[in-house]
């Protein structure tokens, strides 16, 4: 299973981005979101920026990822 998550763009480089994942800077590929700018939120999966996220959607995703998952169903 692949988890996609939001990240904030810190730096734009040719074909790559430096993004912030909860305080950790990482380099990801950027072949699918060419109009991205520093400060944008992007959805990252499998080491690639998949799309630019509107700020409310990025905030909601961060909120959902920060919550604990429900316990498994015992049945």
Residue-range domain boundaries for the chain: 5-66
Give CA–CA dist 15/32, Å, rounded: 9
The whole-model pTM stands at: 0.83
Instruction: Output the pLDDT for position 69.
Output: 75
- Per-block mean pLDDT, blocks of 10 residues, the chain (75 long): 87 97 94 94 95 94 83 79
Give CA–CA dist 11/67, Å, rounded: 28
Which residues, including other chains, have CB under 8 Å from residue 2's CB and lie 6 or more apart?
45, 46
**Chain segment 1-14, per-residue pLDDT in tens:** 568 899 999 999 99
Report, in this order, helix, strand and coil percent for the chain, each rounded to 5: 15, 45, 40
Q: Hey, what CATH topology would domain 5-66 get?
A: SH3 type barrels. (2.30.30)
Instruction: Output the pLDDT for position 29.
Output: 97
């Amino acid at each position: 299973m692949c988890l996609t998550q939001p990240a904030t763009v810190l730096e734009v480089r040719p074909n790559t981005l430096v993004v912030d994942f909860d305080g950790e800077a990482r380099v990801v590929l950027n072949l699918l979101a060419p109009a991205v700018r520093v400060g944008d939120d992007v959805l990252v999966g499998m080491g690639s920026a998949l799309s630019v996220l509107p700020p409310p959607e990025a905030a909601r995703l961060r909120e959902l990822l920060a919550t604990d998952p429900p316990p498994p169903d015992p049945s």
